[in-house]
Structure 1
Amino acid sequence: MMNIKNKSLLKTAVLAGAAAYLHLQNTWIQKTEYTIPVKNLAPENEGLKIVQISDLHLPKEKIDLNKLVSMTKEADPDFIFLTGDQIQGNDTFDPSVVEKLFRKLAAIAPTYAINGNHDRHSPMFQIALDLYKKTGIRYLDDEAISVLAKGRKPVVIMGLSDKSSAIQKITKDFLKKIRLRKDWQGQTRLLLAHRPEYFLKYHIDPEKSADITFAGHAHGGQIRIPRLGGLYAPGQGRMPQHTDGVYLLPTDPEKKLVVSRGLGGSSFPFRINNRPELIVVTLTNGSLSEIL
């Protein structure tokens, strides 16, 4: 029979192991790579690469920001997408830290950002907007631009501004305010939209329907159970449908949704079986079977 001393040592070991596990689950960045087929992708855009960074929740991040930058640089992307909640809504951040991060990202590749619900609620939101301008990050507020990476053909990048819950409930066409020029027709369309739960609503207008939508917000369901997925996500509730990975639009499987598990924490203090995630998406003319 185990004596009291051995029981105490075992208890200490279990607690230490649990603490180490929680630490790694909240600090150890996982790089997830997807190769996603795009219909009618221009041959020059074969292999075009995008790094998606989502839900940093600065200053509540527990990851090493320098490691995030080095992993992003190593991926050698054509574009970097910041898909919302870069900052925490109920906290203040050090502008010098955020400026340094933004400058480093913008130096790697053209970087585009949208807001999330936390950005919108932050008392420092205007400071964040000023930092985007100062560091060369393009902030997209219900707008679209046609951009050209070196050696590539143009693609359309659309950025959807996050709205209040009341406005979202009555909105049918989320992309109504976004304007696309006629001479952009035929270009691959990429959408930054913070909330994955409105995937269907992002495709109401076929003229603006994106080939790939990039979203976050769900935090991977916070606690992930193997084969079941995440347990809870804001906007989706219990057993959420869109928390991690690549999803196909039911009415048109050529249209995809990429959901990042995000990098930071928010109201819930821990990520369990749900490491912070950096996503790397490579575009190809390949078949759907590559991601199924």
Structure 2
Amino acid sequence: MTPTVLITGAGGQLGRELQLLAPEDLRVVSLDRAALDITEPQDLRQVLGELRPDWVLNAAAYTAVDRAEGEEALALRINAEGAGHLAAACASTGTGLVHVSTDFVFDGESGHPYAPDAAPAPLGAYGRSKLEGERAVLAAHPRALIVRTGWVYSRFGGNFVKTMLRLMAERDSLAVVCDQIGTPTWARSLAQALWAAVDRPLLQGIYHWSDAGVCSWYDFAVAIAEEGLAAGLLARSPEVRPIPGSEYPTPARRPACSVLDKQQSWRDLAIAPVHWRVQLRAMLQDLKEHGDG
């Protein structure tokens, strides 16, 4: 019998990439929020009872980092309570669960990449809601797999890369924060890792995934300008100026350095690391060829 995989949050950038990479030997059911709201336990029980999926890949999340400061209750409802309801429904049907979390569960004060067992200390509402979601998932479904990631972008949806391309087409210069460090992650790379996890049902607990290398938002923006120009997505390369985060205040505090340690993931998922700039180049070519729809 063909295994069934349910993708929740299928309308987002990760959900769309998961669908593009879906293995042909699986039955994949993709539901966006309109079709399945993970904050509704009764709906979850009904859908899982009807589909009886072997796996759920949970890409449903509240991801508006700054807005979460004023909407923490909503962020908690989706990222914590909803994730817990989904985990409980999966546990009741014997369904494997892969849940996506974030590097924002850390405060960024470490001087080295965060291992999966590093102590979390979120700085803002978004990070708190995702950390509570991790705890709710593992409490309801101890064999679940949680994959933390960060700085995700894709040709789909709204993200830093597409915002930069728009601003660079409109302006002669722009300023970008240079003292916040992390690793950009193409959503397709993350999707590849999640599908690899489905092939390894014994994996459980917390793993980290992003592309290889590190950079600041400024470095990332400079790369977007250079690669966007080379790909023909920009007619000219604007000036990109580095500024400290103190000159660009936002409602939510960001970790100063949220680089994740992915060694265990690269080994256990048997996926060779690819540098973020190589992945950025591939995503921009994908955007050029297919647009953002």
The interval holding the TM-score normalised by the smaller chain is: 0.3 to 0.5
RCO comparison, higher one (Cα < 8 Å, 6+): 1
* Structure (1/2) with the larger helix percentage: 2
Query: TM-score of the superposition, structure 1-length normalised?
Result: 0.34
Comparing both structures, which one devotes a greater share of its residues to strand?
Answer: 1
